[in-house]
Amino acid sequence: MSELGAIIDSGIDYLSATIKLDNPNAQQWLLSANAYLQEIAIHTDEIKHTRRLGYEGLSFGGSFVGGRERDALSVFSGERAKRAFSLLYRRDIHISRLDVQVSFRYAVPTTNVAQRARDEVKKDNARLSSARQRNATLMEDLRGGGTCYIGTRTSEQFARIYNKEAESGDSAYKNVWRFEVQLKNRFAEKVAEQFAAQTYSAESHGAVFVKQWLRHRGVSTPWRAEAELLPLPRSSTTPTQSEARLKWLRDQVRPAIRQLLKYGLRDDIIAALGLDDPTKSSE
């Protein structure tokens, strides 16, 4: 606790993970994920059969467990993600997304947290080369619910700082601001390894990680850190060949395909790419 206020919650807030079905631990992993999904549902009839990202499975609220031909997926959000991580994390699974958050209650009403964070990123940019400049976007509303986005949603590291009471409409979050870091793929896996190897509580680890991640971008946080983590995962300034190709697909190919689809040229697109039609079964 500090003179500014206190942390009311911290730790993992979102987990998306997959496992290959040829992994000898896959069936037990799926059983554990489904059992936890059943556990968190107040009424079993609220669990729905659904399809998500090409996976067939069961969902409840923001949580999902399902499979497809080669792998299985589990997604758990909010408070449920903490328990899901302790149940499901293994070194041989793939973590596609991991969110870590700190919810801090200020001792007095505070409305400029998001704006201050944006200004701090801007100030920190002054010491960086043009190639290393970081983006920070401020979104404000008339309820004091400003949000600062650090980075971009399409990147593998992204953060947002926002007024939790304004976002949720829940008075239980009075004077609470959330500091949230979203990680994808190799960055998510690196931080997941750190959480699994922690020598102190997941809540303390989360508070230290978020503080260190934001501090690295020039943003101050109102809570104290009791320890330091392993080095933060860093983005390479030079994209790998695969990353460059994926960026080209997103930025150049996808808009063109969308335009051709409007003209009803779906079959021509598939033929031009030399792909099999996914809607036709092979003989």
**Among the ranges given (100-104, 141-145, 199-203, 266-270), the one the predictor scored with the smallest mean pLDDT:** 141-145
Q: In the prediction, which pLDDT does 271 show?
A: 79
Mean pLDDT of 94-120: 95
Yes or no: say if 134 and 128 are a contact pair by the CB < 8 Å rule: yes
Which pLDDT value is given to residue 282?
Answer: 47
- Residue 29 pLDDT level (bands cut at 50, 70, 90): very high
> Can you tell me the distance from the alpha carbon of 11 to that of 82, in angstroms, rounded to the nearest whole number?
7
Highest mean pLDDT (candidates 77-86, 124-133, 138-147, 239-248): 77-86
Q: What is the DSSP letter of 2?
A: B
Residue 264 above 50 pLDDT?
A: yes
- Give every CB contact of residue 273 below 8 A, 6+ residues apart in sequence: none
Three-state SS at 60: strand
Distance in angstroms (rounded) separating the CA atoms of residues 192 and 256:
37
Helix (H, G, I), strand (E, B) or coil at 52: strand
Per the model's pLDDT, the better-predicted residue between 6 and 273 turns out to be 6
Q: What percent of the chain is helix, strand and coil (3-state, nearest 5)?
A: 40, 25, 35
The C-alpha atoms of residue 82 and residue 9 are separated, in whole angstroms, by 11
Write down the pLDDT at residue 243: 61
CB 29 within 8 A of CB 85: no
104-159-171 Cα angle (round to 5):
35
Asked whether the predicted pLDDT for residue 2 surpasses 90, the reply is no
Instruction: Tell me the mean pLDDT in the region 159-184.
Output: 94
Higher pLDDT, residue 72 or 130: 72
Range 34-38 average pLDDT? 95
19 has pLDDT over 60: yes
Q: What is the mean pLDDT of the chain?
A: 87
Portion of the chain with pLDDT greater than 90, in percent: 60
How far is CA 44 from each of CA 41, 48, 60, rounded to the nearest angstrom? 6, 9, 9
At residue 92, does pLDDT exceed 80?
A: yes
From 34, 25, 43, 28, select the one nearest 76 (Cα to Cα): 34
Counting Cβ atoms within 10 Å, is residue 31 exposed (0-12), middle (13-18) or buried (19+)? exposed
Q: Say which residues have a Cβ less than 8 Å from residue 231's Cβ, sequence separation at least 6.
A: none
Amino acid at 81: A
The model's pTM is: 0.79
Edge-to-edge strand ranges of the sheet holding 5-20: 48-52, 55-60, 63-67, 71-77, 5-20, 94-106, 176-184, 157-163, 147-150, 136-139
- Specify the pLDDT at position 224: 86
Percent of the chain with pLDDT over 70: 88
**Is the predicted pLDDT of residue 226 greater than 70, yes or no?**
no
**E strand residue ranges, 21-83:** 48-52, 55-60, 63-67, 71-77
